[in-house]
A and B are shown apart, each in its own frame.
Chain A
Amino acid sequence: MSFLTLDHLSHHYFSKKNYTKALDDISFSVKDGEFVALLGPSGCGKSTILSIIAGIIEHTAGEVYVGEQPLRKSELDIGYMLQQDYLFPWKSIIDNVLIGPKIGRDQSSETKKRAVDLLEQVGLANITDSYPDSLSGGMRQRVALVRTLITNPKILLLDEPFSALDYQTKLKLEDLVWDLLQKYNKTSVLVTHDIGEAIAMSDRIILMDANPGSIAKTFEVPLELRNEKPFSARRHPKYQILFDKVWEALNQNEAGSQQTKVVDSSNDT
């Protein structure tokens, strides 16, 4: 059953002088409980896709379906994790975690208890009353993860959530996130430019092309890798094989799309 479908989705960025096609005819669907990675060079519009799914920006052509319904009409609960934690520095950790429920006007003690439990699960007991400035980058990103999970979203959108962390923290956090997503059976879309991360974490990799952003190729991650934690998946023999394949495809794309396609509209006036 497909949970989320992007149907011939396109997006343009307009400015006074010209327009840029950020996404061109993107179609893919995500099954319930599936983990899809969008992999591609910077500027290929992968983050734009997430913003569209999140309803933060409106696409200019095509449609997004949640189940059978168009996105605009559905009440899709999303969890959005960004490159940096973007914890509010003036709020204590527990208030940061509870910001989603607060906006949804849910201030029950049950939710609060769940927040404390989740914080404990990610290894952050007893910091509920601290402030973000006293936490390390890895801890802050874990708080951001709890903040994302507390509203119990149907789908998780991960926008390079590990890219700002040091390598060791990143590997640890990948395992943690993977564990939690597995445990709560979440559907997720991960945006990344890290081939290894995409292979280690996801079930399917959608390789994107830049200028304009479009789908170049799709890779199924072998079952043996899917069932391993990211850290052990990286050491699996099949990991390197897939890595090489993706690497090659990425390089081919780069060679093929050197020209930019910014269209100047000033000549038709």
Chain B
Amino acid sequence: MTHDNDQHLHEKYKKTLKREKRFVFSWQIIILISFFGLWELASRMYWIDPLIFSSPSEVYTVLVENFSDGSMLAHTQVTLFETVLGFLIGTILGIIMATILWSSERFSKIMDPYLVIMNAMPKVALGPIIIVAMGPGYLSIITMGAIISVVITTLVVYSAFREVDPNYVKVLKSFKATRGQIFKEAIFPATIPAMISTLKVNVGLSWVGVVVGEFLVSNEGLGYLIVYGFQVFDFSLVMSSLILIAIFAALMYKIVERIEVFLIRHTR
């Protein structure tokens, strides 16, 4: 009898959870639809200038047109390729640099002021120099995507390395572990959650680096389309590129989130 009752209460609890979830989701959908609906309406009624702000139907037509002739696909691929690569290089390089800093306390002390300067420096301002040095092409743009996230990754991961509970190190030292072994068995795995959160930041940063890079030199990619659309006053093209960037940036973020769930199952 009581068991039935407990079961019933649990069912009820699950139902409230479900209802809450449905409520949140419906509002998210409502906001999405009303955003595009209002945009369309405002554009049709000339509340906003359709030449500048375009409209969802315009954007849709542009997207369908450009995807069917394959041009949009090519641009999207280029930008995605550059962003993912810039993101990976920036993150991995940052982690490697943090490891080097950790391996020698003295070295990290020496490097400290330079890291502060490099971190404070607006990396996109290096764009022209990078382009001149590496030539106008993929290489410069990927470098832009990477350079924008590498320093902050280094700083965040290095400070996470230093914040690992010293008692883990004590345990390993009692087994006469070398510094390398301490890094491999305790420092690195303990910092994975911190690294994941820098990944999340880096997703956004790499898009900034790549799009700015494409603004500056490229003749393909979504950043290029934005500049091109701006120059020929085709703001439907600008808007459709923006929407594509938003979709792919969100997708990348979601993928990182999935990886996070998998990696930090047992880190707490």
Q: Which A residues are closer than 8 A to B by beta carbons?
A: 51, 54-56, 78-80, 82, 84, 86, 88-91, 99-100, 102-104, 131-133, 151, 157
**Which residues of chain B have C-beta atoms less than 8 A from A86's C-beta?**
165, 167-168, 170-171
Whether A88 and B170, one on each chain, are in contact in the complex, defined by CB atoms closer than 8 angstroms, is no
**Distance between B246 CB and nearest chain A CB, rounded to angstroms:** 35
Interface of A is mostly: loop
Does B268 interact with chain A (Cβ within 8 Å)?
Answer: yes
CA distance A55 to B172 in the complex (A): 12
Whether B266 and A89, one on each chain, are in contact in the complex, defined by CB atoms closer than 8 angstroms, is yes
Among candidates B168, B186, B189, B266, residue contacting A131 with C-beta atoms closer than 8 Å:
B266
3 tightest Cβ-Cβ pairs between the two chains A and B: A80-B174, A100-B175, A103-B175
Q: A89-B267, A90-B267 are in contact. Are A56 and B174 (CB under 8 A)?
A: yes
Whether A104 and B170, one on each chain, are in contact in the complex, defined by CB atoms closer than 8 angstroms, is no
29 A-B pairs (CB sep. < 8 Å): A55-B176, A56-B170, A56-B174, A78-B174, A80-B170, A80-B171, A80-B174, A82-B167, A82-B170, A84-B167, A86-B165, A86-B167, A86-B171, A88-B168, A88-B190, A89-B266, A90-B189, A90-B190, A90-B192, A90-B267, A99-B171, A99-B175, A99-B185, A102-B185, A103-B176, A103-B185, A104-B175, A131-B265, A132-B266
**Chain B interface residue count, Cβ-Cβ cutoff 8 angstroms:** 21
Whether A133 and B266, one on each chain, are in contact in the complex, defined by CB atoms closer than 8 angstroms, is yes
**Which residues of chain A have C-beta atoms less than 8 A from B165's C-beta?**
86
User: Which residue of chain B is the closest to A87 with respect to CB atoms?
Assistant: B171
User: Which residue of chain B is the closest to A76 with respect to CB atoms?
Assistant: B176
**Which residues of chain A have C-beta atoms less than 8 A from B170's C-beta?**
51, 56, 80, 82, 86
**Distance between A127 CB and nearest chain B CB, rounded to angstroms:** 14
**Distance between A189 CB and nearest chain B CB, rounded to angstroms:** 13
Interface of B is mostly: helix
**Which residues of chain A have C-beta atoms less than 8 A from B167's C-beta?**
82, 84, 86
**Which residues of chain A have C-beta atoms less than 8 A from B265's C-beta?**
131
**Which residues of chain A have C-beta atoms less than 8 A from B168's C-beta?**
86, 88
User: Which residue of chain B is the closest to A77 with respect to CB atoms?
Assistant: B176
Does B181 interact with chain A (Cβ within 8 Å)?
Answer: yes
User: Which residue of chain A is the closest to B170 with respect to CB atoms?
Assistant: A56
**Which residues of chain B have C-beta atoms less than 8 A from A56's C-beta?**
170, 173-174
**Distance between A20 CB and nearest chain B CB, rounded to angstroms:** 19
Q: Considering residues B167, B172, B176, B265, which has the most beta carbons from chain A within 10 angstroms of its beta carbon?
A: B176
User: Which residue of chain A is the closest to B268 with respect to CB atoms?
Assistant: A89
Known contacts A99-B171, A103-B181, then 6 further A-B pairs from the complex at CB < 8 Å, ordered by chain A residue:
A54-B173, A80-B170, A89-B266, A90-B267, A100-B175, A103-B172
**Which residues of chain A have C-beta atoms less than 8 A from B266's C-beta?**
89-91, 131-133
Does B73 interact with chain A (Cβ within 8 Å)?
Answer: no
Does B177 interact with chain A (Cβ within 8 Å)?
Answer: yes
Q: Considering residues B172, B174, B192, B267, which has the most beta carbons from chain A within 10 angstroms of its beta carbon?
A: B174
**Distance between B14 CB and nearest chain A CB, rounded to angstroms:** 24
**Distance between B230 CB and nearest chain A CB, rounded to angstroms:** 49
CA distance A51 to B168 in the complex (A): 14
Q: Mark B245-268, 1 if CB is under 8 A from A, else 0.
A: 000000000000000000001111
Whether A54 and B185, one on each chain, are in contact in the complex, defined by CB atoms closer than 8 angstroms, is no
CA distance A56 to B176 in the complex (A): 9
Among candidates A82, A89, A104, A132, residue contacting B171 with C-beta atoms closer than 8 Å:
A82
**Which residues of chain B have C-beta atoms less than 8 A from A103's C-beta?**
172, 175-177, 181, 185
**Distance between A102 CB and nearest chain B CB, rounded to angstroms:** 8
**Distance between A259 CB and nearest chain B CB, rounded to angstroms:** 30
**Distance between B188 CB and nearest chain A CB, rounded to angstroms:** 10
**Distance between B257 CB and nearest chain A CB, rounded to angstroms:** 19
CA distance A79 to B174 in the complex (A): 7
CA distance A151 to B172 in the complex (A): 12
**Which residues of chain A have C-beta atoms less than 8 A from B189's C-beta?**
88, 90
